[in-house]
Structure 1
């Protein structure tokens, strides 16, 4: 079975670098998006049961390319150390800060370039954008069915049986392959590769692809100028005068005026 796993090299939200007014994208380090590690783990588990190969596909979304390329390849080798067989890294200036549709078109073209595929696995969302769009959009580009928010997956022959989380229930779905599956954190616990596998990963191929290599001529429809954090401004009202009971009464009146509480 040919299994493709999508890996986002996301902004490390635990190490955001800030300027006075916005997030410094160039200075913030990258990491494999947490849920994509679950996707890699699940792809390897499927391969261990049914045989085949696991191919990693990733698109570099943050620049500058000259600075990020080595960082991106080092991160992808973490997925290779977990057990993936090879990787394809899409690097192109036009993809930097691109929208989900453009990213999906590039990833779908890379999957087609593989020649054949049976199963595509992705995380339900990425830790930086968290749109949950890229996986389903890739499926739409490929013209294959998609099953989202999967917490349990079983592959039998030419079909997959998945249990997926809904808001108030767990739904069991059977889908014919090829198909795309997005997984949740609950599906597994990603393995920590031993030293021998880390060393072996250094010999596994990472194939670099541009949009031209994929036969694509895309124009960005969305331009991200900056990412600004949520700012919470406090009014700094301090009640100093009066007794404790009077201060409480003034506080209650102030909260009522702000519409934060409703008097009975």
Structure 2
């Protein structure tokens, strides 16, 4: 079985650098495999272990500056290879700026150029933008069924038995490949690669493509015009603590005024 794990090289929300203007600095913010995408990679590896075949990591740059951040993209994909992925392919193009439709179109063109896959596995959303749109859009472009919030994947004959987490209910269904799915964090437990696996990752295929190589261009239907960090303003209310009883009363009154508690 040919399995594709969709991997996003995302900004690390915990290490986000912000310019004085409030704009997120894409040049300085650290990038790595989106945290949730590790679950998608592991789910793909687990399925390969049960059914045989190969797993390819498919990715597309989403923040422009492809030439400047190429080393970061490569390091992230090497991590996927170290986890056990057989090969990695990435669309690297400055005109890809994170618009989900353009990302999905790039991934669809990449998948077609590689001969297509039986199963495409994505996470429920990337850790930086969390749009959750790419997997369903990819399915629509490829003309395949899409299954979201999958928490369990079980081979059943020539089909897959999928269990979807609907928060207040679990849906179980049987689906035949080819198909696209997005998995939850409960679908698998990513395993840390060993030192030997990390070394082997450097001998596995890792290829980059431009949009021109794939004969596709941005849709022009949407574009990101700004990415600004939320600034939380603090009131810095100071309460004199020299008289504990009085300070406690003032604190309770202040919290009640803000609606934090009911006095």
TM value normalised by structure 1: 0.89
Contact 2:64 2:95 in 1 (8 A): no
* Alignment pair present for 1:221 and 2:213: no
Count residues in correspondence. 262
Deviation of the 1:76 alpha carbon:
0.3
Task: Name the CA shift for 1:205/1:261 in 2 (closer, same or farther; >3 Å).
Answer: closer
* Alignment pair present for 1:185 and 2:185: yes
Distance 1:80 1:254 in 2: 53
> 1:165-197 CA distances to partner (integer Å, 9 max, x unpaired)?
112112112112111111111111111122222
Contact 1:62 1:68 in 2 (8 A): no
Distance 2:255 2:95 in 1: 50
What's the counterpart of residue 44 of structure 2?
Answer: 43
Deviation of the 1:54 alpha carbon:
0.6
Distance 1:76 1:260 in 2: 44
Distance 2:116 2:142 in 1: 12
Which SS does the other structure have where 1:19 is aligned? coil
What's the counterpart of residue 120 of structure 1?
Answer: 120
What's the counterpart of residue 26 of structure 2?
Answer: 25
Q: How does 1:150-169 map to 2 (within 5 A)?
A: 150-169=150-169
Distance 1:5 1:76 in 2: 11
RMSD of aligned Cα (Å): 2.4
Contact 1:150 1:162 in 2 (8 A): yes
Distance 1:32 1:141 in 2: 24
> 1:72-103 CA distances to partner (integer Å, 9 max, x unpaired)?
111101111111111111011111x2310111
The worse-fitting range, judged by mean Cα deviation, of 20-29 and 177-186 is 20-29
* Alignment pair present for 1:94 and 2:95: yes
Structure 2 gap segments, 5+ residues each:
none
Contact 1:38 1:123 in 2 (8 A): yes
TM value normalised by structure 2: 0.89
* Alignment pair present for 1:82 and 2:83: yes
Distance 2:98 2:116 in 1: 27
Contact 1:87 1:206 in 2 (8 A): yes
Deviation of the 1:115 alpha carbon:
1.2
Which SS does the other structure have where 1:217 is aligned? coil
The worse-fitting range, judged by mean Cα deviation, of 211-220 and 177-186 is 211-220
What's the counterpart of residue 53 of structure 1?
Answer: 54
Task: Name the CA shift for 1:250/1:15 in 2 (closer, same or farther; >3 Å).
Answer: closer
Deviation of the 1:213 alpha carbon:
1.5
Deviation of the 1:37 alpha carbon:
0.8
Task: Name the CA shift for 1:239/1:211 in 2 (closer, same or farther; >3 Å).
Answer: same
Which SS does the other structure have where 2:164 is aligned? strand
Deviation of the 1:150 alpha carbon:
1.0
The worse-fitting range, judged by mean Cα deviation, of 154-163 and 46-55 is 154-163
> 1:33-87 CA distances to partner (integer Å, 9 max, x unpaired)?
1111111111111111111111110001124222211211111011111111111
Deviation of the 1:13 alpha carbon:
1.4
Task: Name the CA shift for 1:250/1:48 in 2 (closer, same or farther; >3 Å).
Answer: closer
Contact 1:139 1:179 in 2 (8 A): yes
What's the counterpart of residue 200 of structure 2?
Answer: 200
